[in-house]
Chains A and B, each alone.
Chain A
Amino acid sequence: MQTKLSLKPITLVLLLITFVSFGQHHDTKSADNTHDDATIDKAEERKQYINHHLKDTHDFTLFSYTKANGEKGHIGFPLPVILWDNGLKIFSSSKFHHEEAVAEHNGNFYKIEHSMVYKTDAAGTITYDDHHHPTNVKPLDLSITKSVFMIIVTGILMLLLFRGLGKSYGKNNGIASGLGRFFEPIILYIRDDVAIPNIGEKHYKKYMSFLLTVFFFVWFLNIFGLTPLGVNVTGNIAITFSLALLTFLITTFTAKKDYWQHIFWMPGVPYLMRIVLAPIELLGIFIKPFSLLIRLYANMQAGHIVLMSLIALMYLFNSIIGSSLSFLLSFAISLIEVLVALLQAYIFTMLAALYFGMASEEHHHEEAH
Chain B
Amino acid sequence: MEKLLGEFSLGLFIIQTVLFVLLVFLLNKFAWKPILNAVNSREEGIKNALEAADKAKMEMENLQADNKKLLKEARAERDAMLKEARDMKNKMIEEAKEEAKQEAGKLIAQAQASIQTERQTAIAELKGQVANLSIEIAEKVVRDELSNKDKQVKLVETMLGEATLN
Residues of A near any B CB (own CB < 8 A): 55-56, 114-116, 131, 133, 140-143, 145, 147-148, 151-152, 155, 158-159, 162-163, 165-167, 169-170, 174-175, 184, 187-188, 191, 208-210, 212-213, 217, 236-239, 241-243, 245-246
Since A166-B35, A213-B28 are in contact, a sample of 11 more A-B pairs with Cβ atoms closer than 8 Å, ordered by chain A residue number, is A56-B9, A142-B14, A151-B16, A155-B19, A170-B38, A184-B39, A191-B36, A209-B33, A239-B12, A241-B8, A242-B16
Residues of B near any A CB (own CB < 8 A): 2, 4, 6-17, 19-28, 30-36, 38-39, 41-42, 45
B23 with A167: CB separation less than 8 A: no
B16 with A162: CB separation less than 8 A: no
Q: Name the residue of chain B whose CB is nearest to the CB of A84.
A: B11
- B89: min CB distance to chain A, Å: 68
B13 with A166: CB separation less than 8 A: no
B19 with A246: CB separation less than 8 A: no
CB neighbours (8 Å) of A169 from chain B are 34-35, 38-39, 42
Cβ-neighbour of B27 out of A152, A188, A209, A238 (below 8 A): A209
B17 with A242: CB separation less than 8 A: yes
CB neighbours (8 Å) of A236 from chain B are 7, 9, 12
Cβ-neighbour of B20 out of A145, A163, A191, A243 (below 8 A): A243
Q: Name the residue of chain A whose CB is nearest to the CB of B42.
A: A174
A152 with B14: CB separation less than 8 A: no
CB neighbours (8 Å) of B16 from chain A are 147-148, 151, 238-239, 242-243
Cβ-neighbour of A159 out of B12, B15, B17, B30 (below 8 A): B30
B41 with A242: CB separation less than 8 A: no
Cβ-neighbour of B32 out of A142, A184, A188, A209 (below 8 A): A209
- B44: min CB distance to chain A, Å: 10
User: How far apart are the CA atoms of A53 and B45 in the complex, in Å?
Assistant: 51
B38 with A166: CB separation less than 8 A: yes
- A285: min CB distance to chain B, Å: 20
User: How far apart are the CA atoms of A236 and B16 in the complex, in Å?
Assistant: 11
CB neighbours (8 Å) of A184 from chain B are 35, 39
A238 with B20: CB separation less than 8 A: no
